[in-house]
Amino acid sequence: MGNTLKNKTMLRWGVLFLIAFVQAANYYFYDAISPLKRHLEENFQFTNTDFGLFVSVYSIPNIFLLMCIWGGIILDRLGIRRTGFLFVILMTSGAFLTAYGASSFYINGGPGYGLMSSFLTSYSPELKMMLMGRFLFGLGAETSIVVVSKTIVKWFKGKELALAFGMKIGIARAGSWAAFYFSPIIAEQSTVWNNAIWFAAMLLAVALLFFTIYSFLDLKFDRQEKMEGLLKEDEIFHLSDLVKLVTNRSFIFVTLLCMTFYSAVFPFQSFSPDFFLNKYGFSTLYSGKIASLLSVGTTIFTPLVGLFVDKRGKSATLMIFGSLLLVFIHLSFAFTFISPILLMILLGIAFSLVPAAMWPSVAKIVSEKRIGTAYGTMFAVQNLGLWAFPLLIGIVLDKTNPGVTPSQVVEGTAHYNYTWAMLMLAGLGILGLIFAFLLKKEDRHSGYGLELPSNKT
């Protein structure tokens, strides 16, 4: 065992950076269109509901088709390489299709434009093609994150697991930061604004190349483990294991916390540039820069929290503190004019505390043979919120701002009031806080050791 690739420190961390880039490119594309909301309103007459639908359609395959769960099961049965290639290719294809839907070539009668114009005429052809691309992107993107998560457990369990998760999350959030910061710059400085979407799609093509490089290392590692007798038949996932998973109270609580917490952050992040533009009167560029501070905070703090969990533990406690901080932030956005820079930095800290403690905790609660299915199930439930709440935010904004049109907002003669939308997100934070308390209480009885350092049980 001492001679496997896993035990070579530099190579192990090199693997981390390869697969973390895959998730960073995923996050970049997911967030790159959020700062472009004003361009979508101006060029395609998107309403808030249209934009919310565009954001939420990403999660439809992972809710109604249960792709995260099926993807996790496929991952546990077929392994990292075959599953990873399938879903990374899917999300890359979806990204290019989305970019095509916003391109001048498509708008001027390119392939598919006539078909998209022939049905559901209340929706623009641009929206429908972009929805198709976003759907395909979501079909692959969430399971690709499950693949990345299982890869980290495979290479870091028993070593620096929480730090590795923290570094992976930090690198991925750097992708989000870059999207919010650079996407509006690319759009405004390019001759064609939708070059910002094409650039995001190209990053996913690079990610596919990086995963290919990783696959050669993964193949060699598996051969080494097989030679040393470390791959055993009883470690292969069976469908009967799914029953054990969904009846585990600790797993249920951590999954519900995941759903409520992420639903209070990601949908807000998607709308945040528009929120800052409307509430504080910032420019499009400056709003994108403020929104990017969330990812800056997580990039810096998540690895530090992961290191703390490795050395000191306290995972359940950190999840409680992170959830409590989230509630405070959303209420402050709703009712005060506290500096959005300060609140976004605090949100970055909250979004470091919970994920850095939560994801390595799953490896304690669930055996490694079920880890892909466990993460897949969590992402499937999480996507229920990521589908519902962007759409609900858009609906709430349109319903609570009667008479305000996208053209009025673009012209600066009106603005959207986000108070009720922020209260809805604060309510999600409160639910997450409850689930975090229940998880800590259950851990005292289950004995998984969530309060212990990550390399102890």
Q: What is the pLDDT of residue 234?
A: 43
Say how far apart CA 153 and CA 160 lie, in whole Å.
Answer: 10
Contact status, residue 232 vs residue 367, Cβ threshold 8 Å: no
Say how far apart CA 44 and CA 437 lie, in whole Å.
Answer: 45
Residue with tokens 């995963």: 211
**Cβ count within 10 A of residue 295:** 27
**Cβ count within 10 A of residue 246:** 12
Signed CA dihedral, 280, 41, 190, 177: sign only? positive
Q: Tell me how far apart the 2 most distant CA atoms of the chain are, in Å.
A: 70
Q: How far apart are the first and last CA of the chain?
A: 21
Say how far apart CA 166 and CA 169 lie, in whole Å.
Answer: 5
Say how far apart CA 263 and CA 267 lie, in whole Å.
Answer: 6
Q: What is the pLDDT of residue 238?
A: 61
Q: What is the pLDDT of residues 95-139, one digit of tens each?
A: 999 999 999 899 888 999 999 888 888 888 999 999 999 999 999
Contact status, residue 208 vs residue 81, Cβ threshold 8 Å: no
**Helix H or strand E encompassing 177:** helix 161-189
Q: What is the pLDDT of residue 241?
A: 66
Q: What is the pLDDT of residue 424?
A: 95
Which superfamily does 17-224+234-446 belong to? MFS general substrate transporter like domains (1.20.1250.20)
Say how many residues make up the chain: 457
Distance of CA 228 to the CA centre of its chain: 36
Q: Which residues of the chain have pLDDT under 70?
A: 1-2, 228-242, 454-457
**Helix H or strand E encompassing 398:** helix 371-400
Contact status, residue 250 vs residue 439, Cβ threshold 8 Å: yes
Q: What is the pLDDT of residue 133?
A: 95
Q: Strand, helix or coil at 8?
A: coil
- SS3 string, 259-294, reads HHHHHHHHHHHHHHHHHHHHHHCCCHHHHHHHHHHH
Contact status, residue 416 vs residue 278, Cβ threshold 8 Å: yes
Signed CA dihedral, 74, 358, 390, 24: sign only? negative
Say how far apart CA 20 and CA 23 lie, in whole Å.
Answer: 5
Q: What is the pLDDT of residues 329-369, one digit of tens each?
A: 999 999 999 999 999 999 999 999 999 999 889 888 987 77
**Helix H or strand E encompassing 335:** helix 315-335
Contact status, residue 32 vs residue 133, Cβ threshold 8 Å: no
Say how far apart CA 9 and CA 16 lie, in whole Å.
Answer: 11
Tokens of 61: 């395959």
Q: What is the pLDDT of residue 160?
A: 85
Signed CA dihedral, 104, 109, 111, 114: sign only? positive
Say how far apart CA 177 and CA 289 lie, in whole Å.
Answer: 8
Say how far apart CA 16 and CA 151 lie, in whole Å.
Answer: 8
Q: What is the pLDDT of residues 11-40, one digit of tens each?
A: 999 999 999 999 999 999 998 988 888 888
0.85 surpassed by pTM: no
Contact status, residue 357 vs residue 229, Cβ threshold 8 Å: no
CA distances from 333 to 253, 343, 422, 427 (A): 27, 8, 7, 13
Contact status, residue 319 vs residue 436, Cβ threshold 8 Å: yes
- Domain positions in the chain are 17-224+234-446
